[in-house]
């Protein structure tokens, strides 16, 4: 049998599959139908193939692979495309790495300069503190005052005096500004109210509001005037104790209390700073804690004396609020009852989520009981009067 050889014109496609458009051209005189590979295909039909591929003939010759020229051409095309793509990627990576390297160098240089500036600044501040705060104190005549560090080496003296000053300023920030925040209770012939009422300003008496047009404004809570007049002396000694700064709190309190119901004002310097919170230390009030009630809306502010506290929800600025009216009746009831230790009463109301609602419910029940007792007493009086009226004529009749 004569060999039937097939010659392929190869066209390389794109993508992961290599698409080859093969055109068969029969060089045998027997025609295209005698070629076993293309018996089912028409002439010039594209055939998709995958690399690597082999071409076979119908002869028994020893040639088993495709044409080396064609295969070499395909390999060269593939290698050329792969090398071009690799060169492009290498170029892009080289460009990116060069740009990244420049950015990294600039950022590292800026970081070094920043550390250098901070190092020089802190060193200068440390030297200034050591020289200024560590120097021995002098009297009005310029003589050195002998202290507990005077007999130590010079450098140690300066260092220990500087630490003493640092601890002093830390204590100023952390502790209240004085041991007794309030003066001693008044004595005869002056009148001292039996109870002390400590109030928070922000969230209890006023609500802060901020807008772009007006800035910060403080809205007055409904019922403030009624509340202050009800708890003012002779029932309570009213103290405003807030974490606000003095230049913020004093103008607000001046407008809030024109009648002078508030006896004392304590601001942020009177608080104790612990764990990021300004805490109201009632031990520094110079008052008997059995007669002190603090009203607040922040539990962290009164966590050192929670038994003396009445916690209310923070007022959000709504105009239909009447909590201060209920609070006034609650406090007035405690004061008029002459309670020996207010903490015992407050311990009972701490069981409820809303102490004022619980107090109102107890007052309602008490009022119902009083009305019921009045009805019973009235019936007893009517029965006694009827018995007396029926007994008197009979007695007169017998006599």
Residue 308 and residue 355 in one domain: yes
pTM of the model: 0.62
25-26 and 6-7 beta bridge pairing: antiparallel
For position 342, what pLDDT does the model report? 95
Asked if residue 133 has pLDDT above 60, the reply is yes
Domain contains 252: yes
How many other CB atoms are found less than 10 A from the CB of residue 63? Answer: 13
What is the structure's pLDDT at 377?
Answer: 84
Closest CA to 331 of 252, 217, 235: 235
292 with 349, same domain?
yes
Identify which has the larger pLDDT, 374 or 192. 192
pLDDT value of residue 389 = 58
**Calpha distance 333→362 (Å, rounded):** 12
Q: How confident is the model at residue 74 (pLDDT cuts 50, 70, 90)?
A: low
pLDDT of residue 7: 42
Domain identity same for 318 and 201: yes
Within a domain: 302: yes
The pLDDT value recorded for residue 180 is 93
Instruction: Please tell me whether residues 201 and 168 are part of one structural domain.
Output: no
pLDDT tens-place string over residues 386-396: 655 555 555 44
Q: What is the mean pLDDT of residues 330-351?
A: 93
Residues 234 and 276 in one domain: yes
Q: How many residues does the chain have?
A: 399
> What is the C-alpha to C-alpha distance for residues 315 and 22, in angstroms, rounded to an integer?
86
Shortest CA distance to 53 belongs to which of 116, 107, 113, 6?
6
Domain total of the chain: 2
Q: Which residue has the tokens 């109301």?
A: 349
For position 238, what pLDDT does the model report? 96
Judgement on whether residues 204 and 344 belong to the same structural domain of the protein? yes
Provide, rounded to the nearest whole percent, the portion of the chain with pLDDT above 90.
Answer: 39
Boundary residue ending a domain (145, 174, 203): 174
Comparing CA positions, the residue from 346, 321, 351, 350 lying closest to residue 333 is 346
Same domain, 231 and 357: yes
Range of the domain at 156: 135-174
pLDDT value of position 94: 56
Q: Is residue 61 part of a domain?
A: no
Could you read off the pLDDT of 139-167 as tens digits, one per residue? 888 888 888 888 888 888 888 988 988 88
C-alpha span between 326 and 359 (Å, rounded)? 9
DSSP, residue by residue, 228-271:
HHHHTTTTEEEEEE-SS-HHHHHHHHHHH-TT----EEE-GGGS
Do residues 323 and 202 both lie within one domain? yes
Look at strands 292-296 and 195-199 and give their pairing.
parallel
Do 164 and 206 lie in one domain? The reply is no
Domain-located, residue 115: no
Q: Using CA atoms, how far apart are residues 393 and 387, in angstroms rounded to an integer?
A: 11
CATH number of the domain bearing residue 207: 3.40.50.1000
Q: In this structure, is residue 127 part of a structural domain?
A: no
Q: Are residues 267 and 313 in the same domain?
A: yes
- The verdict on residue 65 lying in a domain is no
Strands 195-199 and 264-266: unpaired
Note whether 168 and 260 are same-domain residues. no
- If one compares 310 and 212, the residue with the highest pLDDT of the two is 310
Within-domain flag for 26: no
Q: Could you give the CA distance from residue 145 to residue 246 in angstroms, rounded to a whole number?
A: 36
* 166 and 216 co-located in one domain: no
Closest CA to 302 of 343, 250, 254, 335: 343
Q: Answer whether residue 372 is part of any domain.
A: no
Omega prior to 52 cis, within 30 of 0? yes
User: Given a cut of 60, is residue 23 above it in pLDDT?
Assistant: no
């Amino acid at each position: 049998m004569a060999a039937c050889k097939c010659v392929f014109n190869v066209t390389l496609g794109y993508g992961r599959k290599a698409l080859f458009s093969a055109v068969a051209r029969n060089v045998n005189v027997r025609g295209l139908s005698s070629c076993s590979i293309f018996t089912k295909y028409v002439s010039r039909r594209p055939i998709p193939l995958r690399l690597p591929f082999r071409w076979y003939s119908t002869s028994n010759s020893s040639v088993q692979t495709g044409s080396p020229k064609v295969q070499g051409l395909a390999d060269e095309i593939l290698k050329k495309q792969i090398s071009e793509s690799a060169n492009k990627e290498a170029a892009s990576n080289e460009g990116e790495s060069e740009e990244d390297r420049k950015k990294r160098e600039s950022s590292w240089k800026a970081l070094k300069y920043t550390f250098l500036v901070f190092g020089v600044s802190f060193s200068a501040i440390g030297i200034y503190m050591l020289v200024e705060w560590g120097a021995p104190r002098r009297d009005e005549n310029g003589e050195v005052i002998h202290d507990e560090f005077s007999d130590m080496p010079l450098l140690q003296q300066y260092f220990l005096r500087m630490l003493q000053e640092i601890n002093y300023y830390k204590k100023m920030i952390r502790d209240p500004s004085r041991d007794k925040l309030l003066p001693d209770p008044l004595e005869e012939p002056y009148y001292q109210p039996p109870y002390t009422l400590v109030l928070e300003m922000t969230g209890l008496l006023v609500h802060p509001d901020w807008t772009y047009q007006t800035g910060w404004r403080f809205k007055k809570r409904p019922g403030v005037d009624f509340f202050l007049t009800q708890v003012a002396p002779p029932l309570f000694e009213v103290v405003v104790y807030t974490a606000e700064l003095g230049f913020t709190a004093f103008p607000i309190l001046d407008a809030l209390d024109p009648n002078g119901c508030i006896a004392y004002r304590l601001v942020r310097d009177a608080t104790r700073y612990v764990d990021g919170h300004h805490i109201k230390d009632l031990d520094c009030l110079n008052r008997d804690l059995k007669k002190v009630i603090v009203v607040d809306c922040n539990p962290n502010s009164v966590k050192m004396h929670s038994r003396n506290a009445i916690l209310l929800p923070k007022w959000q600025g709504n105009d239909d609020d009447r909590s201060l009216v209920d609070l006034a009746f609650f406090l007035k009831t405690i004061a008029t009852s002459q309670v020996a230790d207010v903490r015992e009463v407050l311990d009972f109301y701490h069981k409820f989520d809303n102490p004022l609602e619980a107090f109102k419910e107890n007052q309602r029940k008490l009022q119902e009981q009083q009305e019921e007792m009045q009805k019973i007493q009235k019936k007893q009086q009517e029965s006694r009067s009827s018995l007396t009226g029926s007994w008197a004529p009979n007695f007169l009749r017998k006599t």
